[in-house]
Amino acid sequence: MIGRCLTEIDQHTAALKIYSMLIEKYPGSKEAQECTMIMANIAVKKPDLKLPVAMLGAENVRDPVSTYDDLLRKSPQPDVEEALLFQKGYALAQQGRHKEAFDTFDTIMQRFPKGKFKPATIENLRKNAEILVDRYFVRGDYLAVSDIYFRIYANGIPKGYDSMTGFKMAESLRRVGLYAQSAPLFNDLMKRSEKKRQASILISMAEIKYHEGRYGDAEAMIHSMFKEFPGVEQREQMRARRILADVYARKGLTEKAVSLYGEVAKSGQVPEDPAVFYRNYGHALKDAKAYPAAVGCYQSAIKHYHGDRERYPVEVASESYTGLGDCLMGERNYSQAISAYRKSLEVDPDGRQSLWTLYQMGTGYLALNDEPSANRVFSELKLKGGEAFWAGLADYSV
């Protein structure tokens, strides 16, 4: 009680000496265990506190997190366990170890959903979540941001979120392809965000519509954005034009698509997924039979893909190599076309385009009058195709 009184009046050095004396005299007692925890709590509250080096229990002050872990390993009563976990989470946050702090407070919510520390736990969970969301978003780790969203915000554990955190979570969900989850967040943000951010939200919502195959809605949203926000910054303008170009490409409006892709490429604003952008631009140029320009785009797509393979699905590379081969075939450069087709198959041998790529490779060999190689490729096509269509097409080509 003397130690507790000294703690309450901020006489921490004296309190620590008292607790040390108690631990020395009654090492196995319940009170000694409580003193150990209080000493760690004081260290968290006053990290710069000086204490005698030889004092018994000094390790509790030097490394409070380890002290909490040691006490937790002794299987304390539930109320004590909740208190220890809370203090551990708080200590980790004070040390800047926000991921560990977040995980600790999340554990408290799972194990003690109606515990006495619930309000304080939720508040600390929210604070650490906001720090992590900002850190991960800046780093481009959208999967980690999405994980935080699903762990607490999707379950409504913190009631609401500030607009910046909400925007980063919605954008992260969109960028990892979770469109159904990001759309409600964007709709909510649209109602309560300041006007300068509404343009960005509207563009992201248009991109979601595009990926859902609702091209008309996406196009309408982009036109609405340009009408409502004529002064939107160039980076967002180019993002909107890129989405519109993708929409036009899907609709078969090749000239419009090529024109918009060209504007984006010349702007100097690097798209968030350059490999996908240049693949799509290459497809549009190929459809317009602008083969030399398409070749350059496909080569850029391949370069960006190999520069960051973890970021893109393998189809981006295989489709770019196949598109490159198609353009080279159009220019009657059959040897290089066959080489491009081969690389496409090496990247994704069983992909959805592999049968078409094999067929094109076979026709390339036929154009070079290399029938043995063509027959070998067509035999593989028949074996893999498993359909009368591919076998008939191969026979017809020969």
Do residues 241 and 264 lie in contact, with contact meaning Cβ atoms separated by under 8 Å?
A: yes
User: Under 8 Å CB-to-CB from 276, ≥6 apart: which residues?
Assistant: 301, 312, 316
Give every CB contact of residue 333 below 8 A, 6+ residues apart in sequence: none
pTM of the full predicted structure? Answer: 0.75
> What backbone phi and psi angles, to 5 degrees, belong to 30?
-65, -40
Q: Tell me, what DSSP letter sits at residue 56?
A: T
pLDDT of residue 147: 95
**Tens digit of each residue's pLDDT, the chain (398 residues):** 888 888 788 887 888 888 888 877 888 777 877 777 778 777 777 777 766 656 666 666 667 788 788 878 887 888 888 988 988 898 888 888 899 999 999 999 999 999 998 999 999 999 999 999 999 999 989 999 999 999 999 888 888 888 889 999 999 999 999 999 999 999 989 888 777 788 889 999 999 999 999 999 999 999 999 998 888 888 889 999 999 999 999 999 999 999 999 999 999 887 888 999 999 999 999 999 999 999 999 999 999 999 988 888 999 999 999 999 999 999 999 999 999 999 999 998 887 788 999 999 999 999 999 999 999 999 888 888 877 888 888 888 88
Closest alpha carbon to 181 in 145, 217, 213: 145
Can you tell me which residue has the tokens 């906001």?
130
Chain Cα centroid distance, residue 351? 25
Task: Write the secondary structure of 354-386 as one string of H (helix), E (strand) and C (coil).
Answer: HHHHHHHHHHHHHHCCCHHHHHHHHHHHHHHHC
